[in-house]
Amino acid sequence: MKKTSLSIVFSLFLSGMISAQNKITLNTDLAKTKIDKHIYGHFAEHLGKCIYGGMYVGENNTKIPNTNGVRNDVIKALKDLKVPNLRWPGGCFADTYQWKDGIGPKAKRPSMINAWWGGVTEDNSFGTHDFLDLCERIGAEPYLAGNVGSGTVKDLTDWVTYVNHPTGSPMSELRKQNGREKPWNVKIWGVGNEAWGCGGNMTAEHYSNIYRQYATFMADWSNTGGLYRIASGASDGDYAWTETLMKNIPHNMLSGVALHHYSVLSWGDKGPSVDFTEAQYFKTMDEAWKMEEFVTRHSTIMDKYDPAKKIALVVDEWGGWYNVEAGTNPGFLYQQNTMRDAMIAGITLNIFNNHADRVRVANLAQIVNVLQSVILTNEEKMLLTPTYHVMKMYNVHQDATLVPISIESASYEYQGKKLTAVSASASKDATGSLNVSLTNIDFAKPQEVTINLRGEDFTKVSGQILASAKINDFNSFENPNKIAVQDFKGAKLEKGVLKLTLPAYSVVVLNLKK
C-alpha cells in the first residue's frame, strides 16, 4: 500500500507534514484487569435488511448457500470475527415483539407490522429457535432483549422458561414439541430497551420499579450461575438516569446498566455516509471521542453506589449513524461504511478496553446492512466492511489482560478546534505476548509514535494495518477488497523502545513477543 511506504513517511517527515511525536508508556508488569471478550459484541435487530435478506434468506433459497436459512458466508464471517455475544431482536423492535409468534411451524406463525422500522410486514419466520441456533453455530452467547414496554411479566418469564428450563414445565414441553430437546441456557437478558424513549417513555423512577418487578420473576434453572440481567440505561450524558437506577434497584437484582451513544452529526441532518467533508468528519470524530467522557462519568456515578465494580456498564448500542443511501427505504437505516467508520471503531474499542474495570459488555449497531455494519449483502454478494476488519484486528484483546497505558498525543486541529489524534490500548494474552492497538484519526497528518515498554523485555514485533488512499474510501460489491488488512513492517523495537509512524486515518495493531 502506498500510504505505508517508509520512503513516503520519511519525505513527509522532512517536509514537516508529520505531526509532533506522540509518547506512550506501557507498564506491562502492572497488568491485572481482564478485558472481557463481551466488549466485542454485536447487535441484530428486525430492522431493514439486517435479518431478512441479510443474515436470513430462507430455508428454500437455492441461489444462496445457507444452513437452515442463514447464509453460509455470513456464518463463516461471524465465526472468523469471534463474535462473543449477539443481541436480538432489538432495539425499539424488542418492546413490540411477541416471542410466542416466532415459534412453531412457520406456515402457522402470525404476521405483524414493524411500526418502528419502515412499516413492513414481519412474518416471524426468523424466531427464537432460528436465532439461538445461529448463536450456537457462530460460537456466540445470545443476548435476548425482553419486551417490557408493551409486554407483560408473564410474557418475559415464559420466554426465560422456554429457553432455559430443562423439562417438566409447560414452556419447556412446548420447546420440545417445537424440536429442541435441551435448553439453550441463555444467560444474558435485557430487561427492556431505551425505557426513556421507544421502550415506554418512562421516567427513571418509574422504570426502576418496573425493572424490580420484572427481574423478581425472572428465574434460572440451568445452574450456570444465574441470569445476567441488564437494565435499560441512559442515552449519552443522562447521568441522572444512571444515578436513579443505581440508587433504586437492589444490586443483587442487577448485573449491568446499559448506555447508548451514536456518533451522529445531528438528529435533524445526519450527513452523508460517503461524500462527507472534513468539517463533517471532524464533528463525527468529536462525537466518537465523547464516549470517553460518557463512560468515565457514568462509571463515576456507579462507583459511588458500587465501589467493588460488581455491576457492569453495558454499552449495548454504539456506532456511526448517517443519512440512508439514496433510493433506499428511510426506515431501513442502510448506509455505506468508509475509513471514517474504521476510525470510530478504533477509538471506541480502545476506550472500552481502557475502562475494562467497568465496561464488560458492548454491542456495535448493527451486524448486517444496518448503521455501522460489519457485513453488507446484496442478493448473492457479500462484503466485509472496514469496521469488520478493525474488530477482527482488535479481537486479540478478547479476555486478555489490560496493560496500564499513559498517552501524550498530538492534536488533530480543524478551524481552531482540537481533538486527540492518537488513541491506543494494550493487553497481554495467555501466551505472554503483548498486543497494542493504535488509531490515528488525523485527516491529513501521519503521527510519529514512541512507545516505552516498562516491566518486561520483548524482542520481536510484527503488525497489521488498515489504511486507504482516501478517508471516503469504502468496499463495494464491485470492489469488495479495496480496503483490506495488510502486514505492517514499520515498527522498530530497540532496548525497550518501540517507534513507528501511523499514516493519517489508519489503524495499526502490533504484536510483541519475548
Query: Tell me, what CATH number does 249's domain have?
Result: 3.20.20.80
375 within some domain: yes
Average pLDDT on 276-280 reads 97
Per-residue model confidence (pLDDT) at position 220 = 67
What is the per-residue pLDDT across 441-486, written as a single tens digit (0 to 9) for each?
Answer: 999 999 999 999 998 889 999 999 999 999 999 999 999 999 999 9
Q: In this structure, are 236 and 357 located in the same domain?
A: yes
Q: What is the per-residue pLDDT across 155-201, written as a single tens digit (0 to 9) for each?
A: 999 999 999 999 999 999 999 999 999 999 999 999 999 999 999 99
Asked, for residue 168, whether it belongs to a domain, the answer is no
Kind and range of the H or E run holding 453: strand 447-454
Residue 173: CB partners within 8 Å, gap ≥ 6?
Answer: 167
Residue 291's Cα: distance from chain center in Å? 13
Which pLDDT belongs to residue 221? 59
Does 389 share its domain with 413?
A: no
Domain closes at, from 348, 382, 399: 399
Q: What is the pLDDT of residue 4?
A: 40
* Same domain membership, residue 346 and residue 432: no
Do 317 and 451 reside in the same domain of the chain? no
Query: CATH number, domain at 408?
Result: 2.60.40.1180
Q: What is the pLDDT of residue 495?
A: 87
**C-alpha–C-alpha distance, residues 35 and 144, integer Å:** 22
pLDDT for res 208: 97
- The predicted model gives 103-116 an average pLDDT of 94
Give Cα separations from 271 to 210, 276, 277 (angstroms).
37, 7, 9
How crowded is residue 396: how many other Cβ atoms within 10 Å of its Cβ? 20
The answer to whether residues 306 and 293 belong to one domain is yes
Burial classification of residue 310, based on how many CB atoms lie within 10 Å of its CB (0-12 exposed, 13-18 middle, 19 or more buried): exposed
In this prediction, residues 255-262 reach a mean pLDDT of: 98
**Proportion of the chain above pLDDT 70, given as a percent:** 95
No. of H helices and E strands in the chain? Answer: 10, 27
Same domain membership, residue 240 and residue 278: yes
At residue 226, the pLDDT reads: 85
Are residues 207 and 151 part of one domain?
A: yes
Q: What are the cell numbers at 134?
A: 445461529
Q: How many domains are contained in the chain?
A: 2
pLDDT per residue over 67-96, tens digit each?
999 999 999 999 999 999 999 999 999 999
- Residue 290 above 80 pLDDT? yes
The tens digit of pLDDT for each residue in 303-329 reads 999 999 999 999 999 999 999 999 999
CB 92 within 8 A of CB 193: yes
User: In this structure, are 392 and 466 located in the same domain?
Assistant: no
Asked if 199 and 232 count as a contact pair (C-beta separation under 8 A), the reply is: yes
Q: Are strands 41-43 and 411-414 parallel, antiparallel or unpaired?
A: unpaired
Q: What does the pLDDT read at residue 41?
A: 98
For the segment 125-142, the average pLDDT, to the nearest whole number, is: 97
Q: How far apart are CA 137 and CA 134, in angstroms?
A: 5
Choose the final residue of a domain: 380, 399, 418: 399
State the chain's mean pLDDT as an integer.
Answer: 93
- Which of 379, 399, 419 is the last residue in one of the domains? 399
Q: Same domain for 448 and 313?
A: no
Residues 393 and 490 in one domain: no
Q: With respect to residue 112, please indicate whether it lies within any of the assigned structural domains.
A: no
CA angle, 210 then 212 then 215, to 5°: 105
pLDDT at residue number 219? 76
pLDDT of residue 11 exceeding 50: no
Is residue 330 domain-shared with residue 414, that is, in the same domain? no
- Check whether the bond before 366 is cis (ω within 30° of 0): yes
Active site residues: 194, 317
Q: Is residue 124 part of a domain?
A: yes
Domain hosting residue 152, numbered range: 37-96+119-159+180-399
Question: Could you tell me the three cell numbers for 472?
Answer: 471516503
Asked whether residue 106 is assigned to any structural domain, the reply reads no
Give the tens place of pLDDT for each residue, 111-125. 999 989 988 999 999
Instruction: Judge whether 141 and 188 are in contact, CB under 8 Å.
Output: yes
What single letter denotes the amino acid at residue 442? D
